[in-house]
Amino acid sequence: MYVSDLALDDFRSFHELVLALEPGPTAFIGPNGQGKTNLVESIAYLSTLSSHRVGADTALVRRAPAGQTQPAGAVIRTKVVHGQRPSVLELELIAGRANRARLNRNTARPRDLLGILRTVVFAPEDLALVRDEPGVRRRFLDDLAVTLKPSLAGLRAEHDKILAQRASLLKSARAARASTSSMLSTLEVWDAQLAAAAARLIAARVDVVQRLRPWVADCYSRVSEGGSAARIAYRSSLAAHEGAPDADPADEPAFLAVEEALQDVAATAMRLERAMGELHAREIDRGANLVGAHRDDLSLFLDALPAKGFASHGEQWSLALALRLASYDMLRHDVDAYGGDGEPVLILDDVFASLDDRRRQALAGIAADAQQVLLTAAVASDVPADLSGARFRVSATESGSQVHRE
């Protein structure tokens, strides 16, 4: 698939932008702070309804210079060419209110847009995939699960809601000091609900891990200096509670067995309920949910060692890159829910400057035959020769960022 048209109103540094795009590589060039990332961020936002950069939605609406009227909201509009018929996606971000969406000019829920425009973004922030807390990797898996199967967005939202409600019940039980029998029976109702939602979410994540696994190994060997093998495994707080040891990368059958068991949704829900029952006293003591999808992680290994805490800076970079490229390859080999091609738009934000020659070549080689790749760079010489295509210059002006074809 590819994006053929992009229009922005008051998104980040853009006041008004209307841009026609082509398949193949397109580079956005300009010095720091001109609006390159803002531009590609808008496209990525339409595909996941979240930004690859930190920050609340309010940061996405343009702040006009002092003295000018502040825009009430931002609009992102794209035409996506995929399968038989193009789709027109439109999202209005209104400060302090729920977003509004339109699909092919009809009113839709924002969630209805999910899964139509597929993107894979690789950006310097992705080092967090290897280095940061488990939440970053859970989000990585969940975003992929939703891209593969958009209806999972509803499950994800429902799970988070139940989780928050159960947490507030645990907090009030803690505040009350003594847990009454009515409190415990209410808690059991929440146990069942959380277990059911978490079991489905865990199964969806494990499915992603299994599909991704061969691509991660393959992409890592392409982008690294060779030598070590990259492996991934789903890390389950439930299995840990039950006494299963942490995944040992040398014992693949063992962690595959853990994953396989987690794919049985009904059995996982029962196991979760039992675990919650065993943990009630501690959960009330801590005022927090202690087991479930929200405590899980994706374990990353290079050979026999966990990447976090052991891998060198360069290895961490290669692994983060491999995770994104693997996502790209996995999605590309999947037919999307709309019967079109599942090949995502590849977005490479400011990555070539920080890669050495070998990895730059490997990435350029993969990106060169992508249906559409949008990349940003501060200077044109950072863009590898294999990726010569359309070039646009992005510049900040008094009336917002501007984009001109070179």
Select from 338, 329, 385 the least CA-distant residue to 357. 385
C-beta of 44: minimal distance to ligand ATP in Å? Answer: 12
Q: In Å, what is the CA distance from 142 to each residue of 110, 148, 193, 320, 337?
A: 17, 10, 19, 17, 17
C-beta of 19: minimal distance to Mg ion in Å? Answer: 17
Residues 6+ apart with CB under 8 A from 221: 229, 230
User: At what angle are helices 252-262 and 265-286 packed, to 10 degrees?
Assistant: 90
Binding segment for Mg ion (CB under 5 A), chosen from 31-39, 248-256, 296-304, 387-395, is: 31-39
Which of Mg ion, ligand ATP, none binds 342 (CB below 5-8 Å, type-dependent)? none
Quickly list H helices, 177-312.
181-223, 237-241, 252-262, 265-286
Q: Which of residues 350-379 bind Mg ion (CB under 5 A)?
A: 350
Which of ligand ATP, Mg ion, none binds 217 (CB below 5-8 Å, type-dependent)? none
230 vs 345, which CB is nearer to ligand ATP?
A: 345
Select from 172, 310, 313 the least CA-distant residue to 249. 310
Tokens of 226: 């060779």
Which of ligand ATP, Mg ion, none binds 62 (CB below 5-8 Å, type-dependent)? ligand ATP
Which of residues 37, 119, 193, 402 is near Mg ion by CB under 5 A?
37
Select from 195, 198, 183, 182 the least CA-distant residue to 284. 183
Binding segment for ligand ATP (CB under 6 A), chosen from 1-9, 59-67, 164-172, 269-277, is: 59-67
Q: DSSP class of residue 288? A: S
73 vs 249, which CB is nearer to ligand ATP?
A: 73
- 161 CB neighbour count, 10 Å cutoff: 12
Q: DSSP class of residue 11? A: B
32 vs 181, which CB is nearer to ligand ATP?
A: 32
C-beta of 71: minimal distance to ligand ATP in Å? Answer: 9
C-beta of 41: minimal distance to ligand ATP in Å? Answer: 7
By the rule CB under 6 A, 85 interacts with ligand ATP? no
Q: Taking the mean position of all CA atoms in its chain, how far away is CA 384?
A: 26
Which of Mg ion, ligand ATP, none binds 228 (CB below 5-8 Å, type-dependent)? none
180 vs 354, which CB is nearer to Mg ion?
A: 354
41 vs 336, which CB is nearer to ligand ATP?
A: 41
Residue entry with tokens 């390159």 = 36
By the rule CB under 6 A, 63 interacts with ligand ATP? yes
What letter represents residue 235's amino acid?
A: R
Site string for ligand ATP, 339-368 (x = CB under 6 A): -----------x------------------
Residues 6+ apart with CB under 8 A from 45: 51, 60, 76, 91
Site string for ligand ATP, 11-50 (x = CB under 6 A): -xx----------------x-xxxxxxx------------
Residues 4, 79: contact at Cβ < 8 Å? yes
Residue 402, helix vs strand vs coil: strand
Which of Mg ion, ligand ATP, none binds 203 (CB below 5-8 Å, type-dependent)? none
Residues 320, 300: contact at Cβ < 8 Å? no
Q: Which of residues 314-353 bind Mg ion (CB under 5 A)?
A: 350
59 vs 157, which CB is nearer to Mg ion?
A: 59
How many CA atoms lie less than 13 Å away from 386 in the CB half-sphere? 13
8 vs 194, which CB is nearer to ligand ATP?
A: 8
- 399 CB neighbour count, 10 Å cutoff: 12
125 vs 188, which CB is nearer to ligand ATP?
A: 125
By the rule CB under 6 A, 118 interacts with ligand ATP? no
Q: Which residues make up the interface to Mg ion (CB under 5 A)?
A: 37, 350
Q: Which residues make up the interface to ligand ATP (CB under 6 A)?
A: 12-13, 30, 32-38, 59, 61-63, 350, 376, 378, 394
